[in-house]
Amino acid sequence: MNFWKNIFIFLFLTIQSVGWTQLPTTTFDPPICNYNIDYNYSYVNTPNGYKILRNGIEIYGANNSYNISLGCLALKFISNSTGFKITYLAGSGTPYLIVEKTSNYGNTWLEIGRSLLPYDNFYIVNEHLGYLISSGGLNALRIVRCSDVEPPPYPSPYFISLTGTTTGGQTLIKNDIIPGNSICPEDSLVIKCFGNGTSDTNKVVINLSYKEYIDNRPGDPFYIFPNPAKTDITINNIYFKQIDLINMQGIVVKTVYGYTHELKVHELANGLYVLRIVDLSDNSHYSKFIKQDNGL
C-alpha cells in the first residue's frame, strides 16, 4: 500500500514541478536578481523521497531516510552557502507547501513559511526574506511572506490574497519593511498575474523599504531574535551565567542571569547594543542587537 502511495506522490510532484497550465501564472518586475545561479546544487524526486545534490554528490535527502511524503518543487541558491527550497508535504491532512532556508551549504534547513498548494513561484528579496506565491484555483492568488528573521505563525497568514484573477484588471498595493538590504536595487516589486483564459493582467505592487539588520544566525550558540527588537528579545540557549547589555558608550545598562529564554528590553533607549554572554565555562560570547522605538 505504501509503495503505491509513494508512486502517487512522486507522480503528483512531477506534474506539479512541470506546472499546471490551467492555473494563473506570475511574472515579476524587476525579475529576481541572482537566484538562477544554481551554484552546482540540484534536486531529484524519487518514490522514496527527494534528495539534494551538490556537484552531483548527495548532501541531503532520500538516503538519509527523509520523509517519503515530502517532495521538492524548487531549489534556489543566492550564494555558495545560502539558498531556499520549496517542498510539498502530502501527509494525512491538508497538503501544503513549505519554504525552508539554509545558511550552511544545505546541511541543515530552517522552515520560514508555508502555504496551500499549488506552487506558482518564490520571489527572493534578500537572504532573509522572500514571497511564496501559490494559486488558489483558477481565480485566486495567495502570497505568503517568508522570513528567518520574522518567521510567521502557523498556519502562515496570507500577506496578500487576491481573488478574481480570471477577470483581469485588478491592482493591489501593499507596503513591506525588509530586514537587511535588497538583492535588487529597487524600492518596489510588481507581481503580475495572468488569469486563465484572459490576456488581462492583475498586479500586486509591494513597496519595499529596508531596515538595518545585524545578522545573528539560528546556528549560533547564542542566537538572539528578533533583531531589531521593540519590547523583548529571545535567546535560544538558557545555559549561560549572565548577559550584560552594553551601550555604545561602553556602559553596562542591564544584566540578566541564566536559565531564561526572554530578555526584557522595552525600557532601553533606542540604539545599538552589544550583548556580552558568559557561558557556563566562563567563556565570553558577543552579539549585537538594535533596540527600536515601540511606535516604529
| Full DSSP string of 22-66 | TS-EEEEESPPSSTT--TTEEEEEETTEEEEEETTEEEEEGGGT-
Instruction: Answer whether residue 60 is part of any domain.
Output: yes
Instruction: Answer whether residue 218 is part of any domain.
Output: no
Instruction: Answer whether residue 271 is part of any domain.
Output: yes
pTM of the predicted model over 0.75: no
The reply to whether 10 and 109 lie within a common domain is yes
DSSP string, 172-218: EEEEEEEES--SSS-SEEEEEEE-TT---EEEEEEEEEEE------T
The reply to whether 69 and 164 lie within a common domain is yes
What number of CA atoms fall less than 13 Å from residue 166's CA on the CB side?
8
Domain of residue 280 covers 224-291
The reply to whether 54 and 110 lie within a common domain is yes
Instruction: Answer whether residue 276 is part of any domain.
Output: yes
The reply to whether 185 and 229 lie within a common domain is no
Edge-first strand listing for the sheet containing 240-246: 252-257, 240-246, 271-279, 284-291
> Do 75 and 59 meet the contact criterion of CB atoms below 8 Å apart?
no
For residue 10, the surrounding DSSP H or E stretch is: helix 2-18
For residue 225, the surrounding DSSP H or E stretch is: strand 224-225
The rounded average pLDDT for each run of 10 residues, N- to C-terminus, in the chain (296 residues) is: 48 44 62 70 84 88 57 88 86 78 83 84 89 72 83 67 62 86 81 61 84 63 80 80 83 84 87 83 79 65
The reply to whether 183 and 236 lie within a common domain is no
Residue 122 bridge partners (DSSP)? 132
The reply to whether 158 and 190 lie within a common domain is yes
| Dist. CA 32–CA 91, nearest whole Å | 31
Instruction: Answer whether residue 143 is part of any domain.
Output: yes
The reply to whether 193 and 72 lie within a common domain is yes
Nearest to 86 by CA among 50, 34, 127: 50
Domain count, the chain: 2
The reply to whether 234 and 201 lie within a common domain is no
User: Among the three residues 211, 242, 272, which one is the final residue of a domain in this structure?
Assistant: 211
DSSP state of 229: B
Q: What is the pLDDT of residue 131?
A: 92
The reply to whether 135 and 281 lie within a common domain is no
Instruction: Answer whether residue 144 is part of any domain.
Output: yes
DSSP state of 16: H
Q: What is the pLDDT of residue 21?
A: 37
The reply to whether 139 and 71 lie within a common domain is yes
Q: Which residue has the cell 488558489?
A: 136
| Dist. CA 94–CA 155, nearest whole Å | 11
Q: What is the pLDDT of residue 99?
A: 92
> Do 213 and 149 meet the contact criterion of CB atoms below 8 Å apart?
yes
Coil, strand or helix at 199: coil
Instruction: Answer whether residue 217 is part of any domain.
Output: no
What value does the CA radius of gyration of the chain take, rounded to a whole number of Å?
A: 21
User: Among the three residues 179, 211, 243, which one is the final residue of a domain in this structure?
Assistant: 211
DSSP state of 139: S
Instruction: Answer whether residue 219 is part of any domain.
Output: no
Strand ranges (E), 63-167: 70-77, 83-89, 96-102, 110-115, 119-126, 129-135, 140-147, 160-163
| Dist. CA 239–CA 221, nearest whole Å | 10
We report the CATH number of the domain holding residue 248 as 2.60.40.1930
The reply to whether 35 and 174 lie within a common domain is yes
Q: What is the pLDDT of residue 292?
A: 82
User: Among the three residues 171, 186, 211, which one is the final residue of a domain in this structure?
Assistant: 211
**Cβ of 133: how many Cβ atoms within 10 Å?**
24
The reply to whether 186 and 114 lie within a common domain is yes
